[in-house]
Amino acid sequence: MNLKLEQLFEAKVQDKVALITGASSGIGLTVAKKLAAKGAHVLLVARTQETLEQVQAEIEAAGGKATIFPCDLNDMAAIDAVSEKILASVEHIDFLINNAGRSIRRAVHESVDRFHDFERTMQLNYFGAVRLVLNVLPQMMNRRDGHIINISSIGVLANATRFSAYVASKAALDAFSRCLSAEVHSHKIAITSVYMPLVRTPMIAPTKIYNYVPTLSPEQAADLVAYAIVKRPKKVATTLGRLASITYSIAPGINNKLMSIGFNLFPSSSASVGKQDKLNFAQRAYARLFPGEHW
């Protein structure tokens, strides 16, 4: 992030309150630290209290302000309970960053006996995020101010193979957000979707082939969120994400063919278990041609 954007970001978040889900690792952790370093009070939501306490201690040791709220975002009643605690603990929430998510890498034909994969992915990535929005939204509407940022995926724009459960859940949140955006526009509430490319976080660690493909660092991912906070756009995407979206809009057959090539080039997760071998020439070339895409 350049110096000017960094300065604008600090001005935007200083003394503000930011609620971040999935804040104990990966993108959420890095975003929380970035916000806290610029003077925001970060409200950290994740499942494990001990991990949250460690993150809180790190932020406070660096001079930041953090409050933790352990919660299983798969549990709707738990979300309601933690929302009540959060809203009682602060005067208002300026930013809600829906970052918590679950990803499953498995082709549809390998999932015919695993309907639960689709259910649990939708439960966390869509229903959990929507439930939290419903709880926070009235306060934002009363204040006529607020910004909801949803961490989506480049796969929504590119129709990533092997990620049908994950992409569908993010696409559902996208559609919800587009409808909501028009409804709250007059209340001066911004809704932004960040179509995040592949980021080197614990979420992708089990897929060993990702050790050899281009990814963003968590810091680069946090910069995309910072850009969203400063500019308040409807969407934030990488160049590849924008190109994939345009390609699918005007030439869906080409998009389908390119995704099919990638699907056949890379093995399924079950076929690559325990293999640390580097990618072959064709795989390396393809990964470089489509940096940040999920395969």
pLDDT in tens, 86-133: 999 999 999 999 999 998 999 999 999 999 999 999 999 999 999 999
d(CA 6, CA 162): 36
pLDDT in tens, 120-168: 999 999 999 999 999 999 999 999 999 999 999 999 999 999 999 999 9
Q: 267 CB contacts (<8 Å, ≥6 apart)?
A: 209
d(CA 136, CA 134): 6
Q: Is 166 a catalytic residue?
A: yes
Out of 126, 166, 195, 286, pick the active-site residue.
166
Would you state the structure tokens that stand for residue 166, as one six-digit string?
Answer: 């994950």
**Residue 85 pLDDT class (50, 70, 90 cuts):** very high
**Residue 185 pLDDT class (50, 70, 90 cuts):** very high
Task: Give how far Cα 217 sits from Cα of 44, 51, 207, 222, Å.
Answer: 21, 21, 16, 9
Q: Are 73 and 51 in contact (CB under 8 A)?
A: no
- Which domains, ranges and CATH numbers included, belong to the chain? 3-205+215-238 (3.40.50.720)
